[in-house]
Amino acid sequence: MQHIKVLILAFIFTFQCSYSHAQEASIHWISFEQLEDALELKPKKVFIDFYTDWCSYCKKMDKKVFTKAEVIEKINKEYYAVKMDAETQDSIRFDGQVFINRQSSTRRPGIHDLALLLANRNGQFAPPSMLIMSPEFKILDRRFEYLYSEQLLEWLNRF
C-alpha cells in the first residue's frame, strides 16, 4: 500500500511540474486594460499583436513563432505582450478613453477602432500587424507581415 501512495505522489508531482513548465512555456499575453495598470506599476516596452480569426498567417505565427522558447523568453522578459482580435466587438477602456468597433454590422465584424488607430497602413488594416511601443506608449515600429522567429527576434532586439 505504501508503494502505491509513493507512486501516486510521484505521478502528481510529475504532472504538476510538467503543467507549470507548460504554463511558463508560453507568452504571457495581457489585455489593454491590464497593460495600463502594468505600465503604471513597472514601465516596460510593449509588443502588440493584432490578428483576425480568418488570417492564416496569424494562425501560423501562433503555432510556429510564438511557441519558440527564444521568442517566449525575449517577449516575457523585456515586453508586456498584448494580443488583440482586430474584429472584436468588445469595448476597450485604455488611457482614459473607450474604444469600440464602429465598423461592425450584422453582415461583417469590421475592424475595431483601436486596431485602426494603432495598426493601420495607409488607412487600411491588414493582419498580421505587430507593434513595438515604448513604456510611454509611443510607437517605435510596426510590422505588417509574417515574421519567422529569427526575424521577429532580430526586430525585437533593435529596441
Q: Tell me: the pLDDT tens digits for 94-136?
A: 888 999 999 988 778 899 999 999 999 988 899 999 999 999 9
User: What is the radius of gyration, based on Cα positions, of the chain?
Assistant: 19
Annotated domain spans of the chain: 27-157
The predicted model scores a pTM of: 0.82
**Rounded distance between C-alpha atoms, residue 131 and residue 142, angstroms:** 4
CATH class of 27-157: alpha beta
